Amino acid sequence: MNLITQETQNHWVAISPLFSIHNEEEYDLAVERLNNLIDWVGTDEQHPFYDLLDILGMVVQAYEEKHYPMPECRGIDMLKFFMDEHGLNPLDLPEIGNFAVVSDILNQKKALSVEQIKMLSERFLMSPAMFI
């Protein structure tokens, strides 16, 4: 084995646990590492550890998709969820319409318009895609 290969092997043994998650304990540790990296690196793409942040994020995401799949959810379901979480009723959403309009949307008699989706995403600080 040449010097470069031996050196690489020594480093790989130390860092390889960062690139795989096999159980909940490793997942929790990976999430903690990821959060620490986010706090440290932020969005600075020039930071020396930005690539590590990116790769660790992909590893965590892959584990979550396999072990915690998200159920299919429609935009109206998200609206109902947020209303429930925030203790809101149709009168509390004047940005998308009056009581009758909101009720029609909740009862699926009307679809959310692009403008209503934009307003909901701003109100709940979520991507507009959540309401589509």
Q: What is the pLDDT of residues 86-132, one digit of tens each?
A: 999 999 999 899 999 999 999 999 999 999 999 999 999 888 888 88
Rounded CA separation 57/19 (Å): 10
Angle at 38 between CA 33 and CA 40, to 5 degrees: 95
Percentage helix, strand, coil, to 5, in the chain? Answer: 70, 0, 30
Average pLDDT, the chain: 89
Specify whether the CB–CB gap between 80 and 106 falls below 8 A.
yes
Model pLDDT, residue 129: 87
Amino acid 13: pLDDT: 84
**Which residues, including other chains, have CB under 8 Å from residue 16's CB and lie 6 or more apart?**
none
Name residue, tokens 């096999």: 22
